[in-house]
Chains A and B, each alone.
Chain A
Amino acid sequence: QVHLQESGPGLVKPSQTLSLTCTVSGGSISIGGYYWSWIRQHPGKGLEWIGYIYYSGSTYYNPSLKSRVTISIDMSENQFSLKLSSVTAADTAVYYCARDSGYDQFDYWGQGTPVTVSS
């Protein structure tokens, strides 16, 4: 059973960079065929896909966030990470990491971690 767990600061100051890590257990992140994604949910709103990374290092980002997003992978730690720069209050959300089948589904999700942007 694959398990994902997000970690990182719950409070980030405006204009700073939000940094989160997703630790994967129960399966290797370096196996091909899966895309490792970040998704967020603003308070009381729907889900917003942020982007994904493949084990090869290839990435694809939501065009609306592309200029501020970097997703990286650390296969030695079986982790992948999100950096979102120049944050504002509009980036306050619950951030989820998830496994993307690469075809049509997010089959495993982390529990989510809330991040507040405030001074």
Chain B
Amino acid sequence: QSALTQPASVSGSPGQSITISCTETSSDVGNYNLVSWYQQHPGKAPKLIIYEGSKRPSGVSNRFSGSKSGNTASLTISGLQAEDEADYHCCSHAGNVRVFGGGTSLTVL
């Protein structure tokens, strides 16, 4: 059972903003500070979109932003576009351990 809990699905209309949560549910994760987020389109490999909780790699749209409050990390996508429809995964690096959330499917209505 994953130590990071994400909603199974979220949806939004083009132009809207959505937020995906990633909540630590197990103390086994340890130092839950270093969260990254990945976007995965069907049949494709995951792509890094947020690291260190809130930083974007070069080339990633500034419509993607990350934050953290308490034991919950969040990914916000603003100005939703059809191309944002994908699965989103959070991941925690805690010492030697890497843990992924269960993934969230985003539907753009």
Binding site for B on A (CB under 8 A): 37, 39, 45-49, 52, 60, 96, 100-101, 103-107, 109-112
Contact = CB atoms under 8 A, between A and B. Distances in A.
A101 B57 CA distance: 13
Interface stretch (B13-21, B44-52, B74-82): B44-52
A83 B44 CA distance: 23
Contacts of B65: none
B48 A47 contact: no
Name the prevailing secondary structure of the B interface residues. strand
A49 B101 contact: no
Given A47-B91, A96-B46, 14 more contacts: A37-B98, A46-B2, A47-B46, A47-B89, A49-B91, A49-B98, A49-B100, A104-B36, A104-B51, A104-B52, A104-B93, A105-B51, A109-B46, A111-B45
Q: Which of A100, A106, A110 has the most CB of B within 10 A?
A: A106
